[in-house]
Structure 1
């Protein structure tokens, strides 16, 4: 007998509920800032990717409003028909200059950027070698590619070299890695990855969603952090949300990369261009981070303080090297209960369990921002101390 839509929906939702994986997102009642209101409660916000505090920054809102008034509410078409406004190309030139690359192209999101770039570049007979902890958007992008796909153990350079040795090809070879890994907060060994990739004639592809605005001079990212920003055999992709506070994705690299993506990347070809207000806000974000180094300075001062104090309390922060600071609780229900108790203490920090992270490694992922005050972080640390003792974690 045919399954009805209602039966399918109920079965899937019941399965999620029984597994403890059914999500009910909390709702913010105010702008996404270091202190905000969530479900009617004032909280210190440790759940946002708003690294530099740009999501509600006056400079971004001012330029967004100016672009909105001059250029309208929407672009009106896909880029290849009638949706490319002068401001789109101006921003892409600004982004390429910022990233020190031959070209840059903006797409609708970081997720669709991986689908578009990987789907465009990789063909039958090519080889792609991917870190096992790469983001879901990379995994989905690779599903669209006809290339031979291999995985190397997370951050294991010997295993990367083994895979490249055992899988030669006359086609394009691509080594794919996150710049900063979103669950653990560790930084890819890009200095070694690029060296090994070059040894086997491979191109390095870096998803720098959590590295842009965080690492490198003026937030240029992980590639700049390791000194490869002028390299034509390194492709940078990422998001324009997170540190940049808005929305969108980008691909930056070889001067011909942009033109190929314009002609072949399906998310670019079949999606309406970004609204003018978004372009204005993004342009302001790049200007601001380059003119005022205090944003990154505060981000890293806060990060160092928060990590050191969590360590003193006795928490395992899983070797994080960046503002992404996981606190290990082990079992999924323990992490979720810790999140609930923290919320009652006025701290908004979300628990993550299987299948988002491996079994036995459930954690709360905290993200420290430039906007947090020392008072905010001390309040969070006091709450963590209370909750950690109550649950027997410390």
Structure 2
């Protein structure tokens, strides 16, 4: 197995090697993380609403842990389907105003399971080039043909839909908010194309659930197209601050997934304590509106401050704010320099992003204060000038 060492050396030479770095949280300080003995302002977490350390969620999980035990013991189709699942799925259906819902272990398993259940050999999946890896992998597992359209390019999608119009089943899949760029999918146009070509439409709301919509339902509700989406997927690991994923849709869809989604069928069910925590988080997402309001205030402040400092952060109103560096090594140097300044902001490199687009991906939280963000912007500007990434 010596070939692995050679490949790893080549990755290191290209500044593409990855390693695990230990970190820990600070009680009652969700906007920070600890590395070694240093507390860092956490600008790399997906804890958008600052719920990961909410005392009510922790207490509900503690109570469920004491009553239900540490694990579920089996898959949901055997004996792992505890009562907590039904309560959460009923709450999800009400929240999304849909017929039924189904909880998965995580977003990766939800996407791979749903796509491979809906299409197979002889079908085609139309996927945005910047969709999450789990969407691509789900398509590969399904053995359906993958037709990737240029990012948010509806004319290219139309061309591909026309090219494959005679395929048996056609599935369009898109992120609602793209995880590395923070921009939005053109959902209105996707709905029109779905109807025009008789395709199914699946939207991944992992990075928009909890943030958009009157009750945090997501971007589909914000734009009023929720009833036109056939498969609505989201996660509990970001805005909800817990872990897991959900799929919402028709009764028929959910029955089909229970019988065909292999990651659901052949995986041990989530522990009841996590399911209970997600149920409480769902309630908080809907009732603590101030978290969304605070997050959007932080987004506007941080984006405008970075722009005023001379950085091009593009347009958008999501909590994902990238600074494109380009060179892999420079992105690592930028990240390390920010850590020296007390900021945790991870360098994102290929294959997570396209070649030549290595970046620092900032993620904001409702837990961040204006004072913290203004101070962080000043440090980011200083590092940018020192490294030559930012020029006056």
- In structure 1, the partner of 2:234 is 238
The structural deviation recorded for 1:127 is: 2.3
2:10 pairs with 1:15: yes
Structure 1 counterpart of 2:363, from 345, 363, 367: 367
- In structure 2, the partner of 1:310 is 306
Closer, same or farther in 2 for the Cα pair 1:219/1:131, shift >3 Å? same
Structure 2 counterpart of 1:224, from 218, 221, 225: 221
Matches within 5 A, 1:80-95: 80-95=77-92
Structure 1 counterpart of 2:249, from 229, 243, 253: 253
CA distance in 1, matches of 2:164, 2:317: 32
**Could you state the TM-score of these two structures normalised by the residue count of structure 2?**
0.95
Q: Deviations over 1:182-239 (max 9, x none)?
A: 11000100011111111111111111110111122221112112212234x5211122
Q: Secondary structure at the match of 1:144?
A: helix
Q: Deviations over 1:307-327 (max 9, x none)?
A: 000000010113343110001
- In structure 1, the partner of 2:137 is 140
CA distance in 2, matches of 1:235, 1:351: 32
- In structure 2, the partner of 1:384 is 380
- Any stretches of 5+ residues in structure 2 without a counterpart? none
CA distance in 2, matches of 1:145, 1:266: 11
Q: Deviations over 1:133-183 (max 9, x none)?
A: 111000100001132321111101111111111211252211111111011
Closer, same or farther in 2 for the Cα pair 1:190/1:61, shift >3 Å? same
Structure 1 counterpart of 2:25, from 16, 30, 33: 30
2:347 pairs with 1:348: no
Matches within 5 A, 1:8-157: 8-31=3-26, 33-157=30-154
Q: Secondary structure at the match of 2:359?
A: strand
Contact preservation (8 Å) 1:315, 1:328: no
Q: Deviations over 1:297-348 (max 9, x none)?
A: 0010000100000000010113343110001222111111111111101011
CA distance in 2, matches of 1:40, 1:356: 29
CA distance in 2, matches of 1:218, 1:79: 29
**Could you state the TM-score of these two structures normalised by the residue count of structure 1?**
0.95
The structural deviation recorded for 1:29 is: 2.8
CA distance in 2, matches of 1:18, 1:338: 18
- In structure 1, the partner of 2:182 is 185
Runs of 4+ in 1 over 6 A off after TM superposition: none
CA distance in 2, matches of 1:354, 1:101: 38
Contact preservation (8 Å) 1:228, 1:234: no
Closer, same or farther in 2 for the Cα pair 1:329/1:124, shift >3 Å? closer
Structure 2 counterpart of 1:280, from 264, 276, 280: 276
- Any stretches of 5+ residues in structure 1 without a counterpart? none
The structural deviation recorded for 1:259 is: 1.0
Closer, same or farther in 2 for the Cα pair 1:355/1:149, shift >3 Å? closer
Contact preservation (8 Å) 2:123, 2:145: yes
Contact preservation (8 Å) 1:47, 1:366: yes
CA distance in 2, matches of 1:130, 1:24: 30
Contact preservation (8 Å) 2:25, 2:32: no
